[in-house]
Amino acid sequence: MDRKIMPDIKTVKNLPLTRTESTHLSNGIPVVIIPAGTEPVCRVDLVFEAGSRYQDTIFQASLTNQMIPEGTASMTGGMIAEEFEFYGSYFNISADRDEADITIHSLEKHLEPILRLMSEVLIHPAFPKEELDIIKANRIESMKVDDQRVESLARKQFNKLIFGSNHPYGVVGEIRDIEPITSAALVDFHSRFYEQAHCKIMITGPHPDQYLPMVERFFGENWPVKENNISSPDRELPEIQSSTIKRSIITQKDAVQTALRIGKPLFNRMHPDFMGLTIVNTILGGYFGSRLMSNIREEKGYTYGIASHLLSLRDSGYFVIGSTVRAEVWEETVIECTKEIERMCTDKVKPGELELVRNYLTGQIQRSVDGPFQLTDQMRALWMNGLDLSYLSVFMELINSITPEEIRNLAARHLNHTNMAVVAAGPMKTSV
């Protein structure tokens, strides 16, 4: 090998993926098994249709999720945390607009006691008032700090504009909404949405045949469906009512910079154009070498960073450009972003730029499945939309085959800047 000669760059066209298995527990909960990894470490994900879209009052979903590990009839939150620590295991909890998650990481040899503990925590939470009061107080203090950040102000207003302030995807919680939440409200939400009909389970590790019987014991046999149980119907979302206001300015006099959000509602990954538009977004602002970064950061020096995102929700999605720029150049930044969007819609991508993006995206896909838990993260996002890992292989094929004409047409079809909302939050200095 002559190390003075750079190796040839080869296009990655195929994506070898672990074969997943699907089954059900005895109580009907669907399960996906991912046999992956070589170390004696495993992961169990319990995903519930229990996001904020299902709540009756603001913060009901997120506080229910946060309070689940804070105590049962026989254990305090501290005792639960100590038990997990004793076994060298840990769990994550989270809730977003659509789903709520409980994720367990454990050594294989300790999985049984960990699942036993998690079963009690999940199925029989106590929602103690004392702990709720502490969590509410901490949440309020955190929001007070967050409400001083221009990034937070811009994000909240952007969501209101593109989805409508009454839509579950556009509703923004305020500090005043936290105090009325009671333990009884959390108990009610838990009883309706943290149950079998709203649950999916993913199991990952090198020996899933050993894990499945334990998961069945604690979340199948030990969690029987209640007699005469009527599952809460899936809550259909109202139609999106985007605001007719397309430009919103929020003055924060003490701020040093101005936060910008530019975008519009779109669609989720089930849409036939989502994959292609992901490539368009990458070229525009989806990686460090993107057009927005080259223009706004490298050439103009307006910001340290700017990016665009194409985000998928269960029943919708949206496109957004986000940045925090020097206060006196926010208007020029909006103008330059508009120019870059227009250029995507009218000009064909040059071969060299497209090749660079192809290599970047194929590399990103490979990194995203490089390891058992990264593979689980990918599978979780796909499974919640009724997809599987074959989606990644199809995406890889599109990355390697899409043409400059197709990229231009996708941008023109979906990224018309004239119907995008623009939000700016900051001291609002102007240069004109």
Fold match between domain 21-221 and domain 247-426 = yes
* Three-state DSSP state, 171: coil
* Three-state DSSP state, 374: helix
Tokens coding 210:
């050993």
Q: What is the pLDDT of residues 41-100, one digit of tens each?
A: 999 999 999 999 999 999 999 999 999 999 999 999 999 999 999 999 999 999 999 999
Q: Please state whether beta strands 21-24 and 30-35 pair in parallel, antiparallel, or not at all (unpaired).
A: antiparallel
Contact 121, 74 (CB under 8 A): no
Across 108-198, the runs of DSSP E, i.e. the strands, are none
Q: Which residues of the chain have pLDDT under 70?
A: 227-235, 429-432
Handedness of CA 331, 146, 286, 288 (dihedral sign): positive
What stretch of H or E contains 330? helix 330-346
Q: Please state whether beta strands 199-205 and 41-48 pair in parallel, antiparallel, or not at all (unpaired).
A: antiparallel
> How many H helices and E strands in the chain?
14, 11
pLDDT for position 234: 61
Tokens coding 297:
């950061």
Contact 22, 31 (CB under 8 A): yes
Handedness of CA 180, 184, 189, 194 (dihedral sign): positive
Q: How far is CA 94 from CA 63, 67, 101, 364, 400, in A?
A: 10, 11, 5, 25, 35
Cβ atoms within 10 Å of 268's Cβ, excluding its own: 17
**Residue written as token pair 């924060």:** 252
**Residue written as token pair 């199948």:** 220
Cβ atoms within 10 Å of 65's Cβ, excluding its own: 26
Contact 237, 70 (CB under 8 A): no
* Three-state DSSP state, 219: helix
Q: CATH homologous superfamily of domain 21-221?
A: Metalloenzyme, LuxS/M16 peptidase-like (3.30.830.10)
Contact 193, 46 (CB under 8 A): no
- Among 34, 58, 291, 20, residue whose Cα is nearest residue 156: 58
* Distance separating alpha carbons of residues 142 and 242, to the nearest angstrom: 29
Q: Please state whether beta strands 100-107 and 41-48 pair in parallel, antiparallel, or not at all (unpaired).
A: antiparallel
Strands of 41-48's sheet, edge to edge?
Answer: 21-24, 30-35, 199-205, 41-48, 100-107, 90-95
Q: Enumerate residues 6+ apart whose C-beta is below 8 A from 409.
A: none
Tokens coding 373:
């838990």
Q: What is the CATH code for 247-426?
A: 3.30.830.10
What stretch of H or E contains 152? helix 150-163
Q: What is the pLDDT of residues 188-208, one digit of tens each?
A: 999 999 999 999 999 999 999
Q: In DSSP terms, which residues pair with 362 in a beta bridge?
A: none
Alpha helices, DSSP H, located in 273-329: 274-285, 291-292
Cβ atoms within 10 Å of 166's Cβ, excluding its own: 10
Type of residue numbered 180: P
Question: Domain boundaries in the chain?
Answer: 21-221, 247-426
* Distance separating alpha carbons of residues 65 and 264, to the nearest angstrom: 29
* Distance separating alpha carbons of residues 186 and 126, to the nearest angstrom: 10
Contact 351, 299 (CB under 8 A): no
